[in-house]
Protein backbone atom coordinates (compact mmCIF):
# COMPACT_ATOMS: atom_id res chain seq x y z
CA UNK A 1 0.00 0.00 0.00
CA UNK A 2 2.64 2.59 0.93
CA UNK A 3 4.96 3.84 -1.75
CA UNK A 4 8.21 5.67 -1.49
CA UNK A 5 9.33 7.80 1.42
CA UNK A 6 8.28 11.36 0.57
CA UNK A 7 9.98 13.18 3.45
CA UNK A 8 11.18 13.14 7.03
CA UNK A 9 9.88 16.12 9.02
CA UNK A 10 12.00 17.76 11.70
CA UNK A 11 10.45 20.24 14.14
CA UNK A 12 12.83 23.11 14.84
CA UNK A 13 12.67 26.05 17.25
CA UNK A 14 14.35 28.43 14.75
CA UNK A 15 13.46 27.80 11.11
CA UNK A 16 15.97 30.24 9.65
CA UNK A 17 18.87 28.88 11.73
CA UNK A 18 17.99 25.30 10.76
CA UNK A 19 17.74 26.22 7.05
CA UNK A 20 21.10 28.00 7.26
CA UNK A 21 22.68 24.92 8.84
CA UNK A 22 21.43 22.63 6.07
CA UNK A 23 22.36 25.14 3.34
CA UNK A 24 25.73 26.37 4.61
CA UNK A 25 27.04 23.45 6.67
CA UNK A 26 25.66 20.49 4.72
CA UNK A 27 25.51 22.14 1.28
CA UNK A 28 21.89 21.18 0.67
CA UNK A 29 19.40 22.85 -1.66
CA UNK A 30 17.01 24.63 0.72
CA UNK A 31 13.63 25.92 -0.47
CA UNK A 32 11.80 29.05 0.61
CA UNK A 33 9.66 29.19 3.76
CA UNK A 34 6.01 28.41 3.15
CA UNK A 35 3.20 29.07 5.61
CA UNK A 36 0.62 26.31 6.00
CA UNK A 37 -2.13 27.86 8.16
CA UNK A 38 -4.42 24.79 7.90
CA UNK A 39 -1.70 22.78 9.64
CA UNK A 40 -0.42 25.53 11.95
CA UNK A 41 3.15 25.41 10.63
CA UNK A 42 5.70 27.16 8.49
CA UNK A 43 7.78 24.69 6.47
CA UNK A 44 10.94 24.64 4.43
CA UNK A 45 11.75 21.68 2.20
CA UNK A 46 15.29 20.49 1.62
CA UNK A 47 15.72 18.50 -1.58
CA UNK A 48 17.88 15.40 -1.43
CA UNK A 49 18.61 13.03 -4.32
CA UNK A 50 16.28 10.32 -2.93
CA UNK A 51 13.76 12.20 -0.73
CA UNK A 52 13.19 15.46 1.13
CA UNK A 53 13.65 16.83 4.63
CA UNK A 54 10.85 19.07 5.89
CA UNK A 55 11.76 21.62 8.54
CA UNK A 56 8.70 22.63 10.60
CA UNK A 57 8.16 25.46 13.03
CA UNK A 58 5.00 26.70 14.73
CA UNK A 59 2.73 29.16 12.98
CA UNK A 60 0.85 30.69 15.90
CA UNK A 61 0.28 29.56 19.47
CA UNK A 62 -2.26 26.87 18.50
CA UNK A 63 0.27 24.96 16.39
CA UNK A 64 0.67 21.26 17.15
CA UNK A 65 4.38 21.82 16.64
CA UNK A 66 4.43 24.25 19.59
CA UNK A 67 3.45 21.39 21.90
CA UNK A 68 6.09 19.13 20.39
CA UNK A 69 8.78 21.80 20.88
CA UNK A 70 7.63 22.40 24.47
CA UNK A 71 8.50 18.75 25.16
CA UNK A 72 11.58 18.80 22.88
CA UNK A 73 13.02 22.34 23.05
CA UNK A 74 15.94 21.55 20.74
CA UNK A 75 13.60 20.06 18.13
CA UNK A 76 13.61 16.57 16.68
CA UNK A 77 12.07 14.22 14.17
CA UNK A 78 8.34 14.91 14.15
CA UNK A 79 6.96 12.55 11.48
CA UNK A 80 7.66 10.55 8.36
CA UNK A 81 5.61 10.81 5.18
CA UNK A 82 4.87 7.99 2.75
CA UNK A 83 3.24 8.30 -0.63
CA UNK A 84 0.05 6.39 -1.45
CA UNK A 85 -1.79 6.10 -4.75
CA UNK A 86 -5.29 6.52 -3.32
CA UNK A 87 -5.49 8.22 0.06
CA UNK A 88 -9.15 7.35 0.68
CA UNK A 89 -8.59 3.66 -0.09
CA UNK A 90 -5.50 3.69 2.15
CA UNK A 91 -7.47 5.40 4.95
CA UNK A 92 -10.32 2.92 4.73
CA UNK A 93 -7.98 -0.09 4.70
CA UNK A 94 -6.03 1.23 7.68
CA UNK A 95 -9.18 1.96 9.68
CA UNK A 96 -10.46 -1.58 8.97
CA UNK A 97 -7.21 -2.87 10.44
CA UNK A 98 -7.63 -0.75 13.57
CA UNK A 99 -5.31 2.16 12.80
CA UNK A 100 -6.46 5.56 14.02
CA UNK A 101 -6.57 8.48 11.61
CA UNK A 102 -6.05 11.82 13.35
CA UNK A 103 -8.45 14.74 13.06
CA UNK A 104 -11.83 14.11 11.49
CA UNK A 105 -10.46 11.41 9.18
CA UNK A 106 -10.85 13.51 6.06
CA UNK A 107 -7.75 14.46 4.05
CA UNK A 108 -6.48 18.03 4.14
CA UNK A 109 -4.35 19.65 1.48
CA UNK A 110 -0.70 19.48 2.51
CA UNK A 111 2.37 21.56 1.73
CA UNK A 112 2.78 19.96 -1.71
CA UNK A 113 -0.81 20.80 -2.68
CA UNK A 114 -1.88 17.14 -2.38
CA UNK A 115 -4.26 15.40 0.05
CA UNK A 116 -2.67 14.21 3.30
CA UNK A 117 -3.70 12.31 6.43
CA UNK A 118 -1.90 11.63 9.70
CA UNK A 119 -1.96 8.31 11.57
CA UNK A 120 -1.75 8.02 15.34
CA UNK A 121 1.82 7.38 16.54
CA UNK A 122 0.70 4.81 19.11
CA UNK A 123 -0.42 2.61 16.21
CA UNK A 124 2.98 2.86 14.45
CA UNK A 125 5.68 2.20 17.05
CA UNK A 126 5.62 5.73 18.43
CA UNK A 127 6.07 7.37 15.03
CA UNK A 128 3.60 9.91 13.64
CA UNK A 129 2.94 8.86 10.03
CA UNK A 130 1.72 11.15 7.28
CA UNK A 131 0.25 9.73 4.08
CA UNK A 132 0.34 11.86 0.95
CA UNK A 133 -1.55 11.01 -2.21
CA UNK A 134 0.54 10.89 -5.38
Catalytic residues: 130
- Reduced to 3 states, what is the DSSP secondary structure of residue 79? strand
Q: Would strands 29-30 and 52-58 be described as parallel, antiparallel, or unpaired?
A: unpaired
Note every long-range contact of 102-105, with CB atoms under 8 Å and residues 24 or more positions apart, other chains counting: none
CA dihedral (120, 1, 91, 76) in degrees, to 10, reads 30
In the Cβ-directed half-sphere of 47, how many Cα atoms lie within 13 Å?
5
Amino acid sequence: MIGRLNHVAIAVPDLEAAAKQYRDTLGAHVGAPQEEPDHGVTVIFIDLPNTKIELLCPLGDDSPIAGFLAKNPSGGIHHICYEVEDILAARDRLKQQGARVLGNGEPKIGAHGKPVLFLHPKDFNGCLVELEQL
